[in-house]
Amino acid sequence: MAHNQTDSFLTILKNLIISSFTTLQTTLTNIINIITNSSTSANQLTEIARLDSIIQNTSSLKDSAINDDAVTDSFGRLRVSNTNTIIDLKQLGDNGSRYYDTVTNGTGTSVYNANTSSTILSVSVNGDYAIRQSYQRGNYQSGKSLLVMMSFQGFLPQTGVNKRVGYFTSDTAAPYIIRNGIFLHSDPTQVSLVKALNGVESSFPQSGWNIDRMDGTGISGINVDWNSCQILVMDLQWLGVGRVRCGLDIDGKIYYFHEFLNANNTTDVYIKSPNLPIRYEISSIGGVGSLKQICGTIINEGGLDNVGSPSSIYTNGLLGLNTGTTYSVLRIRKQSTSIDRRVVIKDIDILSGTNDSLRWFICLNPTVAGTSIFSAVNNSFVEANLGDITNTVSSLGTVLKSGLAYADTQINISDILSEIDMGISIAGTRDVIALCIAPISSGLTVYGTVNILNIM
């Protein structure tokens, strides 16, 4: 269908929906007038209140019609299937420790249950906490909707307990003050939606949600049970001042309950950065409670384009390397000011200057002896450590890929790109990617190069 035909179709559909909402409002208003002018029972009065709530909801829905339906993304485009998964966080077989960082305090616990592919976060005395946060972060691309989905159970308010589930981050040290993002908060008395900017929180209690209060009186008619399993859905425009919608996926349908409308309503950005981690946490302020973490994902709606500026890091050569030892040739990590930016490693090249054979490894967080000074790479989001003969490796950490080389070898890493998106722990420790080698014959001289793409 041509673009102008699609626009014409959507305009007709939108007008039909607006007309339907207007007719519905008129009909419901007439029904209320008839009922209220006759004798009414307590049940009828309850139904009148519900119908009146529906009228109020349809008024707001009429204004935006199809653009606020779950069939469209945060930019109002019809949702189609060409999405791109940025992070996929299931807990099949283990608690996903390679993808989630965990911090506990006091008697707070994080216990994995293989039978339910989930982790229970629990607290029992004042000061306890348990936090799980993804190492990797979402990558928002301007003009494309970012979709966050998270499942959990046990979010019902509990005396003396705070629970949070959402897309947000905090300080890197206790008491882990929330800094930036959007999340659901279950405090001892109610559930709220919270927006945080530079440590300042704006809280919106369930009773004040502007699309559907999810208490049985809204347009959906759903009375949410926070103790049951739920799927939180958030889709966002950023552009600094875009729209954010938050909802629950129930029976395969998204029911939005609140939206933040920032353009033309605010004088500044609503969150500092749109590139954030998925996070679950629970803390005790004197109470006992638990929260079940199940699954999460971050999806870019409309595909992911690697648009950025290239950089290259290279060594001056390591000389006289001997067999029986593994060496770090080159290490990179994100600069401390670029932890929410994306870096794509495009290719890695290794050269044996003496035509000797070697085994190479691409490693995540190896243990390396000797000098570990990292220097910022010009016009790049990363900093690098160029290896020398003292940078021997006692542990390879997680080996992402390995192989054998002789003379000049270019390493194909296209199949592990998703594994090389360097993350950061809750405490602020940055992932390190290293090119390591183990000589097969003594006297080896080796050179290494890593080419990257810096993506905002």
Q: What's residue 35's pLDDT?
A: 58
d(CA 288, CA 363): 41
Dig out the tokens for 365 from the structure.
């967080």
- pLDDT range class, residue 51, cuts 50, 70, 90: low
Average pLDDT over residues 324-331: 96
Dig out the tokens for 224 from the structure.
């949410």
- pLDDT range class, residue 414, cuts 50, 70, 90: low
> Quick check: 64 pLDDT over 70?
no
Find out whether 259 and 244 touch, Cβ atoms under 8 Å: yes
Average pLDDT over residues 52-80: 58
Q: What's residue 55's pLDDT?
A: 57
> Quick check: 60 pLDDT over 70?
no
Dig out the tokens for 203 from the structure.
């809280």
Phi, psi angles (nearest 5°) of residue 227: -85, -15
Q: What's residue 15's pLDDT?
A: 53
| DSSP strand pairing (230-236 vs 100-105) | unpaired
Least confident of 58-72, 102-116, 189-203: 58-72
Least confident of 2-16, 178-192, 354-368: 2-16
Q: What's residue 52's pLDDT?
A: 62
Least confident of 139-148, 184-193, 298-307: 298-307
> Quick check: 59 pLDDT over 60?
no
pTM of the predicted structure, to 2 decimals: 0.82
CA dist 62 → 19, 166, 248 (Å):
8, 29, 21
d(CA 417, CA 357): 26
Which residues 6+ apart lie within 8 Å of 343 measured at CB?
334, 381, 382, 421, 422, 452, 453, 454, 455
Q: What's residue 129's pLDDT?
A: 98
Q: What's residue 1's pLDDT?
A: 43
H-helix or E-strand spanning residue 231: strand 230-236
Instruction: List the one residue out of 180, 240, 239, 141 whose CA is nearest residue 455.
Output: 141
Radius of gyration of the chain (CA): 27
d(CA 439, CA 432): 22
